[in-house]
Amino acid sequence: MSLGYALYVTLVCTVFDWFGYGMYNMSLNEPVVTGALVGLLLGDIKTGITIGGTLQLVYLGVIGVGAAIPVNKTTATAVSVALCIVSKIEYETAIALAVPVAVMGQLSNMLAWTVNASLMHLGDKYAETADVKKMTNLTYIGSLIFFICKFIPVFLCIYLGSPFVSTLNDNMPAWITSWLKTVTGMLPALGFAMLFSMMYKPKYIPFFIIGFVLCAVFKGSLLAIAMLGLATALIYYFYSAMAGKAKNKGAN
């Protein structure tokens, strides 16, 4: 594929993914939408809808919860559709390529998250001095990092084609796979730790300990613990409201 055409296709694919993850939370990051739009811009909307709809079913249950980073369905769809249209490969081949491309997209997201984590500490310093301009600029820089981290792997996939994707996936070093597993396990813990630090109050410690024991010791499911947490919150809310009413009546 020519360099200019590869840059155009990569820019289109990256913008769709960027809008869904780095800039605005829009439906452009869903495979069925991404596939249709990429197909429309490349002159073959039928192929885009077909591949996008198929991958929508494949990645229907893939969502990001908290700081967990799932495989990148948007990058997978955009690259698969683009390669199918431009390189004239079969539907089945293009859909099969979505798996390694999705992993590459996941790696790029992890890289962007890792780099942006250092910017958050700088943002905290600007917040302490109420420097709104620098905080705003830092937000744009973080979004730009997401764009760059997505642009590079998509360009390599589009420009070098399906052989590059397959070869890269088959020859990925073991240490990269190990690093991916380690970081994937650490990021959710880091996300929950940051969330806890923001809402930390001594009176909430007992609830945190109860939830931890239910999960770590009794192996409770996330749904069961969430329902117990909801019930506990409702009990706390209703009893607090009753105590407040009783206090007001006593004052009167």
Tens-place pLDDT, residues 55-69:
887 777 666 655 556
Q: What are phi and psi of 59, to 5 degrees?
A: -105, 25
Comparison of pLDDT for 59 and 142, the residue scoring more: 142
For the chain, helix, strand, coil in percent to 5 are 85, 0, 15
The pLDDT score that the predictor gives to residue 67 is 55
Q: Does 167 share its domain with 206? A: no
> Which residues have CB under 8 Å from 222's CB, separation 6+?
none
Verify that 7 and 129 share a domain, yes or no: yes
Query: Residues 155-175: pLDDT tens digits?
Result: 877 777 666 666 665 666 666
Q: Which amino acid is at 150?
A: K
Asked whether residue 110 falls in the same domain as residue 220, the answer is: no
Q: Is the domain of 58 the same as that of 172?
A: yes
Which residue range forms the structural domain that includes residue 240? Answer: 201-252
Structure confidence by residue, pLDDT tens digits, 220-243: 787 888 898 889 888 888 888 777
- Res. 22 pLDDT band, cuts 50 70 90: very low
Residues 29 and 105 in one domain: yes
- How large is the average pLDDT for residues 104-131? 79
Looking at residue 135, its pLDDT comes to: 85
Q: Are 132 and 201 in contact (CB under 8 A)?
A: no
3-state SS, one letter per residue, for 39-58 = HHHCCCHHHHHHHHHHHHHH
For residues 52 and 37, what is the distance between their CA atoms, to the nearest angstrom? 10
